[in-house]
Amino acid sequence: MTIKEQLEKISRNTQEIINLEELESKLSRKSKLKVKLGIDPTANSIHLGFAVVLRKFKLFQDLGHETILVLGDFTALIGDPSGKNKTRPMLTQKEIEENLKTYLPQLGKIIDLQKTKIVYNSQWLSNLKPEEIIKLTSRYTLAQMLEREDFKNRYKSNEPISLHELMYPLFQAYDSVYLQADVELGGIDQKFNFIVTRYIQEKYNQEPEVAIMLPILEGIDGVNKMSKSLGNYIGIDEDPLTMFTKIMSINDNLIKRYFQLCTNLPEENIEKFFKIYENPRDIKYILAKEIVSIYHSEEKANKAYEEFVNIYSQKNLPSHIPFFKINSELIDSQNNLNIIEALYAAGILESKAEAKRLLSQGGIYLNGQKLTQKIVKFQKPFIIRIGKFNYYQIEVK
RNA sequence: GGGCAGGUGGCCGAGCGGUCAAAGGCAUGGGACUGUAAAUCCCACGGGCGAGAGCCCUUCAGUGGUUCAAAUCCACUCCUGCCCA
């Protein structure tokens, strides 16, 4: 593949590259670039937002470059302050290990683990002597650090900034120095860290890495970036139906973006869908099928589609309804059951007050009938619906 | 080290002795409308008891105190920010 073709593929759907000329120059000099991707093992599941970056990483693997995955077990102790207005809680070594256990198999769904060199940055960062840390920190100034948006904002609004947080970009930079990275991948929110890294690499007499920054995918709320803590994420390990449903619930104006960032479909196809279909829902169907196919299979995607139409469009019962058990004492000799007690006892709702609220607001249905009073006859099957689409089946122990 | 200002529900933020389970906003949940959404409107949003008006319990950083009564006053402790050194 020519350099031009590589550049074209690499830069597709990126948000910013610092900078393209350097990348071209590197490609012309080396056939194998060292491509670094740092991940913070603070989460234990990968969502579509991070998948955007991983997919680009996979591209470099396909192009035959050396791909290095840096598991930031050391830097996770600090917590990346990017985009945060609060100090992150420090993770313990144990929590990090737990997270990694579930993390790696998920990574394998997107990237080729065989071709991936996996390293832990504690390998070198933990061995840094205080003298070396001083040397590292002497290369950057407080004013430079405070230029960073998140720090600036926090500083201005009298929010605390712990000293260790200032170290984060420096340690991340040191990773690249240690690994002699040619290219680093990340979200656009990493821009500051990348700039620091390039700067530090030069201070260590290295050629600065090329920073390839990908867009930040919005979560299903359509506003905030996709993140687990905001609860607006779509995990790549979620079951097909959940995934399908979540994709269907994204904002209409995100459809195109999801197509571009989460699927492999060429631009022309995407444009075509918008021409063919009037109802955005139908384009979302294609999108959802496409994404579910990537992480599960085409067959499962089609099944998820059928199930979705069944439940949400035709308002039929889902094919699987979770069972919850209650004690037989809750049912009296007349076969009466207090639905509030039952929902609470079965563990479906957190408190009886919540059950009462839902009942008085008409949010509880028994076998399709809206309940208006709390005493009901127990019958089989006993299928409870809460809200529009949450189904539960109650059985007697 | 000295001076000052703060720490309130999932988050932000009012309250500053009784009328406080604590205004308002955001988030969330339910209902209406829909395309599964979004937007909009209505309602709810610590827990327990009660059909219900209502009653009770646990909350306003922590501990101890003053008071008939404390988120509100006092003391100490912890945490945060600002100014001076």
Average pLDDT, chain A: 89
pLDDT at A211: 96
Determine whether the distance from the CB of A152 to the nearest atom of strand B is below 7 Å: no
81-120 of chain A touching strand B, CB 7 A cut-off: none
3 state SS for A259-318: HHHHCCCCHHHHHHHHHHCCCHHHHHHHHHHHHHHHHCCHHHHHHHHHHHHHHHHCCCCC
Under-70 pLDDT residues of chain A: 42-44, 79-93
Q: Tokens at residue A119, please?
A: 């390293």
Q: Tokens at residue A69, please?
A: 């995955």
Measure A150 CA to B83 C1' (Å). 24
Determine whether the distance from the CB of A159 to the nearest atom of strand B is below 7 Å: yes
Determine whether the distance from the CB of A372 to the nearest atom of strand B is below 7 Å: no
pLDDT at A355: 92
Which chain B positions have some atom within 7 A of a protein CB?
27-31, 34-38, 43-50, 80-82
Question: CA dist A280 to A173, A250, A286, A381, Å?
Answer: 44, 11, 10, 37
Q: Which domains does chain A have, with CATH numbers?
A: 3-214 (3.40.50.620), 240-313 (1.10.240.10), 323-396 (3.10.290.10)
Query: pTM (2 decimals)?
Result: 0.86
Percent of chain A residues topping a pLDDT of 70: 95
pLDDT at A150: 83
Measure A159 CA to B79 C1' (Å). 13
Checking ipTM against 0.90, whether it exceeds it is no
pLDDT at A380: 82
Measure A163 CA to B70 C1' (Å). 38
Determine whether the distance from the CB of A155 to the nearest atom of strand B is below 7 Å: yes
